[in-house]
Structure 1
């Protein structure tokens, strides 16, 4: 979608493939996280200090959260959950640096939700066996099969729209706020000096980008862990 509140098309590849802000910002986030990982892990000392302290605290926290939420036997999911949370936090905070958050694009949130959806059923069947897992759709009695199937299909839809709705709502409100403040500057005769646009939006950025962004990242990761854990137990 181009125009309005949708992501802008940055450039076009041969064959008519459109590259939007969502893709370019995601590339930047991937590069930042990759560089951080390389720098943070290039040298580990027996006695941690500086950046190593931060990294070990972060990794330990993610493993503990995964174990507490999913169980000790599912700690192997911690690397994926940690990566997911770091990406979502960076994506949701992108607005602070003048970028459009990739999570304000339904394509991004739906892709992440579908990853969770496939993990739910793949690991559920791997743990219980295909026959036993599919039999669960007939419980507590076979007549509920359509409702159980619809419930499973609704999972990625609700996951994606919850994250997308919260982030795009913040983007729309901030765009409207900046537009109103620009009009206010115009009305008082200083259209080229962003007096009102400089300080007033700060408190709104703290809520919509920092608080809501980090909270939604945590919620998405927690729901992923809960759904996968339930399917496996």
Structure 2
């Protein structure tokens, strides 16, 4: 019998299987939720008249940098997207770094990356229509010349596919390479593996996080602007 990576159980006569990547995704959400509650409590207890320190200072720096990134990329009139972009960045960063502690990164599952890409796609379409109106939105597919309508339509549909596969492919390839490395290195794995973990999990994970949030901001901003 093949080894099951996750939880398998029977419900109403049907076999239900939850993959470990989905479970790890729930763990990431739970950890971030606990962190948010704890940080919120710390901010309420902090004295606004005093200079922030410790965790409060670190979180404040992160918030400021996220807001600056959104302002520079999308414009000062789109700061309402900063909370979502910040949340997305924290989720992706933590999810991509899960390989460092020996767990399967949630983003190595295409279901997870596709779900995130679909959220970006829906945001793009919703705010595009809201900003330009249905007429202006549809008109954009026929510009600069009506002949390009099929290409523009395919390009719009391809965005979530390319966005999801880019993140999924990079993270999954790192997981596969690390698995092969552990098999080949054997007893020498503790000596060799940390260097590759630093690249595939730490460096590549953070780079892919940055790319995903940047593309999300670019897609939404382009849909809203003329």
Q: TM-score range by the shorter chain?
A: over 0.9
Look up the match of 1:55: 59
Q: 1:72 to 1:13 in 2, by over 3 A?
A: farther
Look up the match of 1:186: none
1:158 aligns with 2:162: yes
Aligned Cα RMSD in Å?
Answer: 1.5
User: Please, which of 203, 220, 223 is the counterpart of residue 215 of structure 2?
Assistant: 223
1:112 aligns with 2:112: no
Look up the match of 2:27: 28
Look up the match of 1:209: 201
How many angstroms does 1:50 deviate by?
1.1
Q: Distance in 1 between matches of 2:211 and 2:136?
A: 30
How many angstroms does 1:43 deviate by?
3.0
String of CA shifts for 1:35-65, please: whole Å, max 9, x gaps: 1111111032212121110111111111111
Q: Which runs of 5+ in 2 are unaligned?
A: none
Q: Distance in 2 between matches of 1:150 and 1:29?
A: 34
Look up the match of 1:140: 144
3-state secondary structure, aligned to 2:168: helix
Q: Distance in 1 between matches of 2:211 and 2:15?
A: 36
Look up the match of 2:7: 10
How many angstroms does 1:13 deviate by?
5.7
Q: Distance in 2 between matches of 1:129 and 1:12?
A: 48
Q: Which runs of 5+ in 1 are unaligned?
A: 183-193
How many angstroms does 1:131 deviate by?
1.2
How many angstroms does 1:96 deviate by?
0.5
String of CA shifts for 1:67-101, please: whole Å, max 9, x gaps: 11000000100000001010000110000111100
Look up the match of 1:77: 81
Look up the match of 1:94: 98
Q: Distance in 1 between matches of 2:10 and 2:40?
A: 35
3-state secondary structure, aligned to 2:128: helix
CA contact (8 A) 1:13 1:19 kept: no
Q: How many residues align?
A: 217
- Stretches of 4+ aligned residues off by more than 3 angstroms: none
Q: Distance in 2 between matches of 1:52 and 1:61?
A: 14
TM-score with structure 2 setting the length: 0.92
How many angstroms does 1:199 deviate by?
1.7
CA contact (8 A) 2:6 2:23 kept: no
More helix by share: 2
Q: Distance in 2 between matches of 1:199 and 1:12?
A: 39
Q: Distance in 1 between matches of 2:57 and 2:134?
A: 43
String of CA shifts for 1:13-47, please: whole Å, max 9, x gaps: 62433211111101111111111111111032212
